[in-house]
Chain A
Amino acid sequence: MNPLRKENSVEDIQIVELYWARSEAAITETADKYGRYCYSIAYGVLHDDGDSEECVNDTWMSAWGAMPDQRPAKLSPFLGRITRNLSLKRWERASAKKRGAGQVPLALDELSDCIPTDGDAERIADDIALTDALNRFLASLDSDKRKIFMRRYWYFSPVAEIAADFGISESRVKMTLLRCRKELKKHLEKEGVEP
């Protein structure tokens, strides 16, 4: 059972129905089931309790505004994306004012390994093509490597936390990540994706 989510609580489909019915219980149920999950995502980016709490609250507001019309089949990735996006935007504002810490600067620095070197200057790739390429890349990884990669670059989990959760050394996490980044670089070059 995922300790960050209460598996035995209201099913996602029921929560979504509450949103569609414009019932405020939707927020309560969402916060109860996904509060810690979204907080962990926000904290990974912002590394600040207050900012993370605000992002989580903003997530509920965004979800309220998104449903209807949307009807996500699963709430965790839906809410996770919102939180991640809000957190990154907040981080950008904070870094512009030279505030805040978190894992984002490290993650950005690490991802410089993935930049293809020989790009055709005339190639233009949009976000969809890049996401498609990323999906194919992630599908090619074995489960553990993919999870470690996503923990780092989607959830912005610190290396130490990833190592602890997987029961491996931090060095091994770093090596796995670096290897993934190199493979991603080759993959993007091969697919001719250059945003």
Chain B
Amino acid sequence: MTEKRILNALEQVDERFIEEAAPTGVKAEKTQRRRSYTGLKRALLIAAAAVATACCLFMLNANVRAAIRGVFTGKDSHGWNVISFGDPDEKNGFDIRKVTLNYVPDIFSLPEEEEIECEYGGDRSLYCRDIHLVADESLSSEDPVNAPRVHVSIYRTENLKLKYDDEQYDIFEDTYTPTTVRGMSCLEATYPYDGAAQGHLLFGDENVTVSINFNGISRDEVMKIAENVIW
């Protein structure tokens, strides 16, 4: 098959599709909608940070960190290479308060240095538990000091709701197609089947890949919210 043949075959597609897509001025409406969602998202992030900060004030824990660097520590029983947050010898039950992602693709519309607080461990750390980093085979896990490090940000999904069109939805992570930004590619994304509740986000560069599973909502709602509100 040739690309040119596809291009030529498109010429004879249904007229409705041709007319529907004719260039027209829709920018004002979409921009206005996007602008309002950006403000909503930012307000939610600020609220989330305020809530997490309040939690920090009330929880005295020697393992609390202001920022966590993930360290590649080897493979788990499922074959995933695992990034451990905090000291390598304190993987289990470790309480992560804040993790930053240095390489956030611009599709997430998140400033590079922005930090999102989350919790790790116990029933309230479901999201964090699903994060693994698939690293290059040549990377060594035997030297934690020199092992590759990556900062990973985690959205606090539990108890954080997003109001959209007067409905409330759980926040989730999502992406759409591979794209390369600052060396980080979104490698693939799968979506929940209609009515199902789980999804998968996978992105990374040639050396490390971040995989995040999420419990979301229906596919159409995933797409609608993620496209128009979250990012």
Contact = CB atoms under 8 A, between A and B. Distances in A.
B3 A127 contact: no
Contacts of A186: none
A66 to B, nearest CB: 15
A154 B10 contact: yes
Nearest to A109: B3
B81 to A, nearest CB: 26
Contacts of B27: 164-167
A6 B4 CA distance: 32
B31 interface: yes
Contact of B109 (A116, A135, A169): A169
B11 interface: yes
B178 A134 contact: no
Size category of the binding interface on chain A: 35 or more
A18 interface: no
A68 interface: no
Interface residues of B, number: 47
B1 A85 contact: no
A76 B30 CA distance: 25
Interface string A101-132: 00010011101101110010000000100110
Given A108-B4, A116-B1, A195-B1, A165 B25 contact: yes
Interface in B6-57: 6-15, 17-34
A150 B177 contact: no
B5 interface: yes
Interface of A: 2-5, 37, 40, 74, 76-78, 80-81, 84-85, 88, 104, 107-109, 111-112, 114-116, 119, 127, 130-131, 134-135, 138-139, 142-143, 146-151, 153-155, 157, 161, 164-169, 171-172, 174-179, 182, 184, 188, 193-195
16 contacts: A4-B22, A5-B22, A108-B4, A115-B3, A131-B9, A131-B10, A143-B20, A146-B17, A146-B20, A151-B21, A154-B11, A157-B23, A171-B181, A178-B177, A193-B1, A194-B1
Interface of B: 1-15, 17-34, 105-107, 109, 175-179, 181, 186, 223, 227, 231
